[in-house]
Structure formats: C-alpha cells, structure tokens
Amino acid sequence: MPTLQSSPQKHYLFNTAVIVAALGYFVDIYDLVLFSIVRIPSLQSLGVTDPTALLEDGVMLLNMQMAGMLLGGIAWGVLGDKKGRLSVLFGSIFLYSIANILNGFVTTIPMYAVLRFVAGVGLAGELGAGITLVSEVLPKEKRGYGTMVVATIGISGAILAGIVGEYFGWRTAYFIGGGLGMLLLLLRVGVYESGMFNNLKQTNVTRGNFLSLFTNARRFWKYLKCILIGVPIWYVVGILITFSPEFGVALGVKDTVSAARAVSFCYLGLVFGDFASGFLSQRFQSRRNIVLAFLLLTGIFVGVYLLGREFSLTAFYTLCVALGFAGGYWAVFVTIAAEQFGTNIRATVTTTVPNFVRGAVVPLTIAFTYLKDGVGLVPGAILLAVLCLAIAIYSILTLDETYGKDLNYMEPL
C-alpha cells in the first residue's frame, strides 16, 4: 500500500481535536435520541392520540430521520475525503443545529417529517469526521483511548436529552439542542486539520470515491462487515428502547414505562460500556475480541428483556442500563471501521458505516412492524434479535484485527 509522509501532530490525548470531537458528538447524540424521548408528547401535542397512530407515526418519523442520516452519511463522507475532516465536522453541526431549532416550531406531522429528515442529514456527519480526525491526529498507541473519550463523553449527551425532554417540554428540548450546537461552533478556533489529510491533498490520488467500495469484492465485504457488527446496537436502541412503553405493557411491567427514562438509562449504560470497551480493547490489544464479548453480552440481556415477565419498574430500567452497557462497543466498532481503510477513503468509510447502521433502523422497524402483526410484539422482536446478533458475530469473527495498525497509507482504488 502506498504510504504518506507523516507530519508533526500533537500527541497528547486531550488535544483540541479530541475535545471538540467529543463535545460535537455530545450534542449530536442529544439531538439524535431526542425524538425517541419526546415522540409521544410531541405527537399528542400535534393531535395524535390513538395508541396505534402514536406507534405508526412514531415509526414513520424515526424512519425519516434515519433515512436522512443514510443519505447524509454518504454526502458528508465523500466531502470529508475531498474537502477535509474539519469542514464536515463543523458543517454537520451547523445543519443539525438549525434543523433542530426549527423542529421546535412544527405544527403538522408532514412538517415534522421534513425537519426530522433534514436533521438526520446534519446528524450524519459529525461522528465519522470526528473519529477520522482523532484517529489520524493521535499515535496508534493512544488512538483507542482517543476514540474512547469521544464516545464516552458524546454518549452522555443522551442523558441530558432525557432530563431536558422530560422536564422542560418537547419544544424547549429542541431549542436547547440547536442552541448547544450553535455554541459549539465557537470552538472552531484552535482546531487543525489532520496532517495525513493535508499531505494527501498534495498528491493526485483519488479521494472519497464512494463507489470504489463496491467495485472490489474484498473491499466490499470488509465494508459490509464493518456495518453489520454495529446493527445490534441500533436494534436495542431503535426497537427495544424506543418502543419501551409498548414492550412494558406486553411484558407486564407493573407501572407505566417512560420512553424518556428508558432512553436515559440505556445511554447511561452506553457511557460505561463505551468506556469499558475502549479501555479493554487497549488493555488486551484487540478490537475484535472485545466486540465479540460485548455482542455475546448483548444477546444475554436481550434474552432477559424479552423472555422476562412482570418486571417492577425499577428492574425494567435496570435492564435498560444493562442493555446499554452491552451495546457500548460503539467506540470500538467505529474505530475498527476507521482502521480498516486507507487515508484517501477513510472519512467516507468512517462516516457512512455508523450512518448505515443507524439507517438500518428503517428496515429493522419495517421488519419489526411486519413480524409484530404476524407473530406478536415479543416473538417478532426475538426473531429479529437472533438474526441481527448471528450476522454480527459472523462478521466480527471474519474481520482482520486492527489494533496498532499504522494508518498512514493510501487505499489503492
């Protein structure tokens, strides 16, 4: 593989790139999960009161957001390799901040759907650009710790979203999310572009060719496996947690389940899970083995969630924390994607992979709705869980280990 001349970088862990990427992901996650938290009160405020309509309109709006992230992930990823990591990092923050402020003014379901789509496009760029920048700025010995910091701080944004969404009203919650993003743009001063990318710009190598991921069989299967190992995380968040009020009724939970609290408790678990998985991947010098362990743990807790009955409300929320912890391999999963490909296509991969995982909520919710109508809410969720976990386990077992890999090279396209 062709290599690039290295350039001096700041090698301390808490440099400005890591801090801004972490804070950007904090606001990104806040805005990303906010709809799941305010789904019911916002729809009721817009005149949707029938329980079936609340579920169906909620699925439609969630799919609009995730479809926006799917398309936005491709666009931002290509821009990240062609124009730079920083342009995507701050451009995406600006777009989703404006969109979420406007979400606070919606008065109809169609308007809500359009703005969730636009917000999804904006939300698609920040994580991939941030992880790519951090991966290229830090030396390989500290890379896992850097992405661990980004994910751990970022995931905690969901906890703030849960508090704000439950106690400040859904419109105010959107205004706060958008305002936080606009404030973050003030931190642009002092953040510098990746030296690897700056060196790459001086060459004639093709950059950001998204279609090249599909023209080579080995590259395609590697790319697809990077996506599939992350799908169980969004099965948990997008199905089990987002629709936790409905599962609470089906599982006989003794009190009414709050979606806002379920999301907050799940993301509390994700904070600790991302810290643990990132630390353990560095401690044991293996990304692959740690992801495999967390996938198996996810299977255990999903089984407890779906096969248990008559939980107390405290036990149910505790299980949400456990599910979050088991799904807390997000940082390692995105790091694996960044480490699998060369500098000239790294931003494209690292931005599209997590967004295809998030976008997988669309077919997941469609399949869930179909299975729910065919075999029932809980059996349908069980069948979907088995499929997601089996594919993810196969994928991680057949991917190369990337811990300690030198990233200063170009992908032959």
Angle at 124 between CA 106 and CA 355, to 5 degrees: 120
- What is the structure's pLDDT at 301? 96
H helices of 203-258, in order, are: 217-228, 231-235, 244-250
Taking each continuous run of H as one helix and of E as one strand, the counts in the chain are 19, 0
Complete DSSP assignment for 114-175: HHHHHHHHHHTTHHHHHHHHHHHHS-TTTHHHHHHHHHHHHHTHHHHHHHHHHHS-HHHHHH
Dihedral over alpha carbons 269, 271, 275, 280 (to 10 degrees): 30
Q: How is residue 18 written in tokens?
A: 């890591």
pLDDT by residue, tens only, the chain of 413 residues: 444 444 444 455 667 778 888 888 888 888 887 887 888 889 999 888 888 888 888 888 888 888 888 889 899 988 888 888 888 888 888 898 999 899 999 999 999 999 999 999 998 888 888 888 888 888 877 788 888 888 888 888 888 887 888 788 889 999 999 998 888 887 765 566 666 766 766 677 777 788 888 988 999 999 999 999 999 998 998 899 888 888 988 888 888 888 778 888 888 899 899 999 989 998 898 999 999 999 999 999 999 999 988 888 999 999 999 999 999 998 899 889 988 988 888 888 988 998 888 878 878 888 988 898 888 889 999 999 999 999 999 999 999 898 888 777 777 76
Which sign does the torsion angle of CA 374, 230, 328, 286 carry?
A: positive
Is 171 part of any domain?
yes
In a domain, 313, yes or no: yes
- Cα dihedral 217, 218, 219, 225, rounded to 10, equals 100
314 within 8 A of 377, measured Cβ to Cβ = no
Nearest of 279, 289, 238 to residue 144 by alpha carbon: 279
Asked if 220 and 214 count as a contact pair (C-beta separation under 8 A), the reply is yes
Which pLDDT does position 192 carry in this prediction? 62
In a domain, 402, yes or no: no
Both tokens assigned to 384 = 């979907």
Name the domain count of the chain.
1
Name every residue whose Cβ is closer than 8 Å to that of residue 312 and which is 6 or more positions away in sequence. 253, 254, 255
Query: Tell me, what's the pLDDT at 235?
Result: 93
Q: What is the model's pLDDT at position 8?
A: 44
**CATH number of the domain to which 227 belongs:** 1.20.1250.20
* 409 within a domain of the structure (yes/no): no
Task: Determine, yes or no, domain membership for 261.
Answer: yes
Instruction: Give a yes or no: residue 367 inside a domain.
Output: yes
In a domain, 406, yes or no: no
405 lies in a domain? no
Q: How far apart are CA 147 and CA 338, in angstroms?
A: 10
Residue 43: domain span: 16-189+214-397
Strand ranges inside 6-52, DSSP E: none
Chain-centre distance of CA 123, in angstroms?
9
